[in-house]
Structures are given as C-alpha cells and as structure tokens.
Amino acid sequence: MSPRRIVDPDAPEFFVAPVDRPARWGLPLVAGLAALVIAVALGLASFMTVAHESNRQTQIRDADALGYVRAFMTAYTTLDPFNANDYADRIRAQGTGEFVQTFTEKQNEILLQVARAEPTTGEVLEAGVQRWNDNGSADVLVATKMTSTTPDGKTTIETGSRWLATTIKEGQQWKISRLIQVI
C-alpha cells in the first residue's frame, strides 16, 4: 500500500488516544442542591409539626382545666339554703389536699352560712390559666358574679368576687386543691 492512500475520515484511528469530553457538572450540582433543599424543608416541616402539636396539647390542657374550674366555681357560688348538706357534700367531693382539709375544718360554719343565706345563682364571668406548676396543677384566676334576691323578692343583689383556684388532675378527674379569694 502506498503512503498516499486515501483514508476514510470516519474510520477510527488505532494509534491515537480518544479525547474525553469535558465533565458536565450541571446535573450533579442541581441534584445536590435539590437534595439539600428537600432535606432543609423536611427538617423545618418536622420542627413546625412538633411545635404545633406541643401548642395544641397545651391548649387542650388549658381548656380542660378551665372547663372544670368554671363548672366548679358555678356550683360553689350557687347556694341553695334548703339543701345545705348536699351543697357541702358536693363541694367536698370535688376537692383534694389543702382545700378538703380547710373545708372539713370549717364545714359547720359553712353549713350555717349557706342555710341562713338567700338562694343565689353563681356565674363565672371570666377565667384564665395563670400558670402551670411543676406538679401538674394549674393556678386559675376566676371572676364570678352571685345574684340573689331579697326575701321580699323585690330587689336583686349582685356581688362579684375574684378567686385563685388551684386545680390538679387525679387519675381521670380534676379536683380543686386550693381556693383563695383574691381581694
């Protein structure tokens, strides 16, 4: 063969190293950034979910304690002089700790005051959780209104008072552990 032979330009050359194309960094870079953005989004979503659930549990616990204290204070401020013993038994049954001890010590005085009083209707105007204590109890501030009529039935008397009630959950039931009238 002659050195002048015609060589097919498309034929591979056997003694020349093929030239590699330059590396393409675009796709791996975009994929890495996308993975990083997804990881950050999942982390933030998890954090927000945990914070939301914690806030929801706090609101449920607050509502539970407030509902109980509202019901208790309505019963506590609604006096029926014709059923004073039943009143005292109901109130004592909803107490625990310091409240029951104080109520039991003063039960005779309380019974006399309730029996001598006019029938009253108690109403809770507003209540709010002041703080949660380390033992799981809640201090609740309560504003109440008591409405009674005079013996002749012509005049209506309304009195208001504020209370600091400490409530704690014993088992599945809330109870009052301390009740202080705030001046």
Q: Round to whole Å and give the CA distance between 100 and 175.
A: 10
Give pTM, 2 decimals.
Answer: 0.75
In the chain, the domains with their CATH numbers are 26-77+117-182 (3.10.450)
Give per-residue pLDDT as tens, 118-173.
889 999 999 999 999 999 899 999 999 999 888 887 888 899 999 999 999 998 89
- Could you report the per-residue pLDDT of 66-91, keeping only the tens digit for each? 999 999 999 999 998 888 899 999 99
183: closest CA among 157, 156, 158, 164? 164
Distance of CA 91 to the CA centre of its chain: 26
pLDDT digits (tens, 9 = 90+) for 37-67: 999 999 999 999 999 999 999 999 999 999 9
Question: CB of 150 within 8 A of CB of 137?
Answer: no
Residue 176's contacts (CB-CB under 8 Å, 6 or more residues apart) are 69, 72, 94, 95, 96, 99, 165, 166, 167
Indicate the SS3 state at residue 58: helix
